[in-house]
Amino acid sequence: MTDFPQSRWWSDRVRQVRATFPHQTSVPQPGLITLSSGTPDFPTPPHVVEAGRKALADGHTAYTPWAGIMPLREAIAEKMERVNGVKVNPGSEVIVTTGTQEALIAILLAFLNPGEEMLIAAPFYDEYRRDAWLAGADLVPVPTSAHNSYELDPATLEAHIGPKTKGIILVSPNNPTAAVFRPATVKAIAKIAQEHDLLVVSDELYEMFVYDDATVTSIASLPGMKERTITINGFSKGYSMTGWRVGYIVADAGLIQAILPIHHGLTICAPAVSQWAALAAITGPHDWFVPVLAEYDRRRRTWMAALDKMGLPYGRPRGAYYILIDITGAGLDSPTFSRTVRDEAGVVIGGGGGAVDPSTLYTVRGAFTSPLDKLEEGLARMARVVERLREKAPVVS
């Protein structure tokens, strides 16, 4: 990274931002095998690309309504009722956003005053720290652990509620833990939210990725929860559309009224062409996803088998496409482990956020986003490094 002038009035600010966010975007480098990317390696389905092309040809290149094009809002409402069991009015209860990321920042800006808090199961998606920081809000991590696949314990959650707590951010299926909260857990969280008068933000971005017996319970579908739940979701992961930047917010009309002007202030509207492509994605065929999910599952099993062989514990992934690995046995913290594996084996693995969240200091995040041959090669190389580290520091967790 280029350095910055030490003596300008903004230098302190630059230093503060760099200290708050020490991680920089990692650019894929030739020759390295990346085993922890959050970007699907499958292409956007062709019928979706074609819809984007047609939208361009048809001249859909201007601003859209603040809340997004009506056919897409209608399709989102239809899907919310059919898949998630949540009935919403497309005219007043849906906003199309520039990705799920924008959805969360808009919500935090709309409902939290500086210094107020949201609870979130930890380890959590590192980017949400940046969103909270922008809003002046604090995320309060609620610990979870690998031994029960990072399930959130409602009693632990409740114990973290304080006078500044305004709500709970639920991410299920989860990044980076791959937890999918069980129906009884979600029900207990709903009860806690009602008893303590909390808002719930439910990030369901990975809802299409579930394995074994896991099912996604949309908390907004539970009795009494729609009025206090803001569901956020997007097209990035399930439809391999990370660069198209489309997500959405679904909530009661009263909540939407507070979020809509902020959404407009942030991005005016989601990209018009991308909204038409997203419409094709959500209303089009979904049979193409069956083999895609089977491939992610094959990679998941490959990961688990390799880690079992290396003797590194992990939370069994029930959803999303990640696996959170406990590297205590390798005798290094996660930044050092990541550096060592990259330098010695040409394998990129990281993303645990270890430098900033103590709960991830000895974890790294693997992902199922590399093709099987690359994954097997990367895991074999990583295994050799782990074996060497073990010989040097045979601390088996």
Ligand X SMILES: Cc1ncc(COP(=O)(O)O)c(C=O)c1O
If we measure between CA atoms, which residue out of 373, 266, 386 comes closest to residue 328? Answer: 386
In this chain, which of 247, 317, 319, 378 binds ligand X, going by CB under 6 A? 247
Q: Which stretch binds ligand X (CB under 6 A): 40-48, 98-106, 155-163, 185-193?
A: 98-106
Q: CB of 296 within 8 A of CB of 209?
A: yes
In this chain, which of 45, 68, 90, 99 binds ligand X, going by CB under 6 A? 99
CB of 104 vs ligand X, minimal distance in Å? 7
Q: Which residue is nearest to ligand X (CB)?
A: 99
**Residue matched to tokens 């520091």:** 393
Distance linking the first and last C-alpha atoms of the chain: 36
Cis bond before residue 291 (omega within 30° of 0)? no
Q: Which stretch binds ligand X (CB under 6 A): 20-28, 99-107, 189-197, 365-373?
A: 99-107
Q: Which residue, 83 or 383, has its beta carbon nearer to ligand X?
A: 83
- Our measurement of the distance from residue 143's CA atom to the centroid of its chain's CA atoms, rounded to an integer in Å, reads 17
In this chain, which of 96, 140, 201, 205 binds ligand X, going by CB under 6 A? 205
**Interaction with ligand X in 317-376: which residues (CB under 6 A)?**
none
Please spell the DSSP secondary structure of 139-206, one letter per residue: EEEEE--GGGTTPPPHHHHHHT--TTEEEEEEESS-TTT-----HHHHHHHHHHHHHTT-EEEEE-TT
Q: Which residue, 207 or 326, has its beta carbon nearer to ligand X?
A: 207
Q: Are strands 138-143 and 117-122 parallel, antiparallel or unpaired?
A: parallel
CB of 59 vs ligand X, minimal distance in Å? 26
**Interaction with ligand X in 5-44: which residues (CB under 6 A)?**
38
Q: Which residue, 331 or 350, has its beta carbon nearer to ligand X?
A: 350
How far is Cα 331 from Cα 386, in angstroms, rounded to an integer?
9
- The SS3 assignment for 311 reads coil
CB of 75 vs ligand X, minimal distance in Å? 17
Please state, in angstroms and as integers, the Cα–Cα distance from residue 91 to each residue in 65, 205, 397, following that order: 11, 22, 54
CB of 44 vs ligand X, minimal distance in Å? 13
User: Binding of ligand X at residue 275 (CB under 6 A)?
Assistant: no
User: Binding of ligand X at residue 100 (CB under 6 A)?
Assistant: yes
Q: Which stretch binds ligand X (CB under 6 A): 41-49, 93-101, 273-281, 301-309?
A: 93-101
- Exposed (0-12), middle (13-18) or buried (19+): which is 328, by Cβ within 10 Å? middle
Cβ within 8 Å of residue 196, ≥6 positions away: 158, 161, 165
CB of 11 vs ligand X, minimal distance in Å? 31
Q: Which stretch binds ligand X (CB under 6 A): 97-105, 185-193, 263-271, 358-366?
A: 97-105
CB of 320 vs ligand X, minimal distance in Å? 8
User: Binding of ligand X at residue 236 (CB under 6 A)?
Assistant: yes
Q: How many CB atoms lie within 10 A of CB 280?
A: 21
Q: CB of 152 within 8 A of CB of 185?
A: yes
How far is Cα 247 from Cα 226, in angstroms, rounded to an integer?
19
CB of 171 vs ligand X, minimal distance in Å? 5
**Interaction with ligand X in 108-137: which residues (CB under 6 A)?**
125
Size of site (CB under 6 A) for ligand X: 13
CB of 233 vs ligand X, minimal distance in Å? 8
Q: CB of 269 within 8 A of CB of 119?
A: no
CB of 175 vs ligand X, minimal distance in Å? 4
Note the residues at the interface with ligand X (CB under 6 A).
38, 99-101, 125, 171, 175, 203, 205, 234, 236, 242, 247
